[in-house]
């Protein structure tokens, strides 16, 4: 199928990043969120990202203007009727996502493909909320979207070969590298990453080492660009906890049990960089 218009649902860090790369690739983009204040913040983030590229000489002012002109905003989900592909990038909550997909199924054109940027939730279950499960797929971008090359491609139980191939080609047109995996809790990225982060937090919880020491060992000894504790703060401790809970519930294996300290920090509102305090303090 020919893709011309992409709607991105959610103007947060992930959604605005997806909108930016889609517009840069020449697609007409509809950026949707519940309020204009969220949309303005998302557009502001896109503008800042593009300005940095202009300052570094990677982008001209003319190209920047063209990218921004490709993006329109929406506070009405009914605008999804104009999209060939919808990419959902809202909060990592199954009830919220299935409600959105049920509405999209009623609004979108019959040919439209519905993709979710979920980082851990089962695509098959999300697809079951629609009458087009064969046209639902997981398209998990990495953060920050304009920089990271990977798109984790997740086929639901009923995702058709044609839809997979179409979205794989779309990912390539967005200058990303699509990598396929099956629909299991956490997929590959978070099934491997989150237990490492959780174990790093256990090291702090048990008094084995300070957050700084844990990060230094992983950076200097394992050549990680960012330590696991810093990375947890960057991702958001609430998101880390939610993904660990999905893994724990999905597999029923004690090795995925969230660290009590992680749960305590989330209850305290210490969510990491976005709240100004996590394992580190941000000013």
* All structural domains of the chain: 5-182 (3.40.50.720), 190-273 (1.10.1040.10)
Report the mean per-residue pLDDT for the chain: 97
99: confidence class by pLDDT, cuts 50, 70, 90: very high
Helices (H), the chain: 13-24, 36-55, 61-69, 94-107, 123-127, 161-173, 189-205, 211-222, 228-235, 237-251, 260-268
Q: In this structure, are residues 113 and 160 in contact, taking their beta carbons and an 8 Å threshold?
A: no
The answer to whether residue 1 scores a pLDDT higher than 80 is: no
pLDDT of residue 283: 86
Q: In this structure, are residues 200 and 229 in contact, taking their beta carbons and an 8 Å threshold?
A: yes
Q: What's the burial of 78, exposed, middle or buried (CB within 10 Å: 0-12/13-18/19+)?
A: exposed
Give the residue numbers of the binding site for NAD(+). Answer: 10-15, 33, 92, 97, 119, 143, 274
Segment 61-85 shows an average pLDDT of: 97
The answer to whether residue 94 scores a pLDDT higher than 90 is: yes
Instruction: For residue 277, give every residue at least 6 positions away whose Cβ sits within 8 Å of its Cβ, in sequence order, or none.
Output: 269, 270, 271
Instruction: For residue 197, give every residue at least 6 positions away whose Cβ sits within 8 Å of its Cβ, in sequence order, or none.
Output: 228, 229, 231, 232, 235, 240
The answer to whether residue 209 scores a pLDDT higher than 80 is: yes
pLDDT of residue 87: 98
Query: Pairing state of beta strands 28-32 and 5-9?
Result: parallel
Segment 230-238 shows an average pLDDT of: 96
125: confidence class by pLDDT, cuts 50, 70, 90: very high
More confident position, 93 or 113: 113
Catalytic sites, residue numbers: 119, 140, 152, 190
Per-residue CA distances from 101 to 65, 94, 212 (Å): 32, 10, 42
Q: What percent of the chain has pLDDT over 90?
A: 98
Give the pLDDT confidence of 101-119 residue by residue, as tens digits: 999 999 999 999 999 999 9
243: confidence class by pLDDT, cuts 50, 70, 90: very high
The answer to whether residue 29 scores a pLDDT higher than 80 is: yes
Give the pLDDT confidence of 148-171 residue by residue, as tens digits: 999 999 999 999 999 999 999 999
CA–CA separation, 51 and 29 (whole Å): 19
Segment 207-213 shows an average pLDDT of: 98
pLDDT of residue 72: 98
Label residue 279 left, alpha or beta by phi (over 0 means left) and psi (-120 to 50 means alpha): alpha
């Amino acid at each position: 199928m020919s893709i011309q218009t992409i709607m991105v649902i959610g103007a947060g860090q992930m959604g605005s990043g997806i909108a930016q790369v889609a517009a840069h690739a020449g697609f007409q983009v509809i950026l949707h969120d519940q309020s204009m204040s969220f949309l303005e913040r998302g557009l502001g983030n896109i503008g800042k990202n593009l300005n940095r590229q202009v300052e570094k000489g990677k982008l001209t002012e003319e190209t920047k203007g063209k990218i921004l002109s490709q993006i329109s905003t929406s506070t009405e989900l009914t605008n999804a009727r104009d999209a060939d592909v919808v990419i959902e990038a809202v909060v990592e909550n199954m009830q919220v996502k299935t409600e959105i997909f049920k509405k999209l199924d009623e609004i979108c054109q019959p040919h439209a493909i519905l993709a979710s940027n979920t980082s851990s939730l089962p695509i098959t279950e999300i697809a079951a909320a629609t009458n087009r499960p064969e046209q639902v797929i997981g398209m998990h971008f990495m953060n920050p979207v304009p920089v990271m090359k990977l798109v984790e491609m997740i086929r639901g139980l009923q995702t058709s070969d044609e839809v997979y191939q179409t979205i794989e080609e779309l990912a390539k047109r967005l200058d990303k590298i699509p990598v396929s995996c099956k629909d299991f809790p956490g997929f590959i990225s978070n099934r491997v990453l989150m237990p490492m982060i959780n174990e790093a937090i256990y090291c702090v919880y048990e008094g084995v080492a300070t957050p700084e020491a844990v990060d230094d060992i992983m950076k200097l000894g394992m050549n990680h660009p960012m330590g696991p504790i810093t990375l947890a703060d960057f991702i958001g401790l609430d998101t880390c906890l939610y993904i660990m809970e999905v893994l724990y519930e999905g597999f029923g294996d004690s090795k995925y049990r969230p660290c009590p300290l992680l749960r305590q920090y989330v209850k305290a509102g210490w969510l990491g960089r976005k709240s100004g305090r996590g394992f580190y303090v941000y000013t």
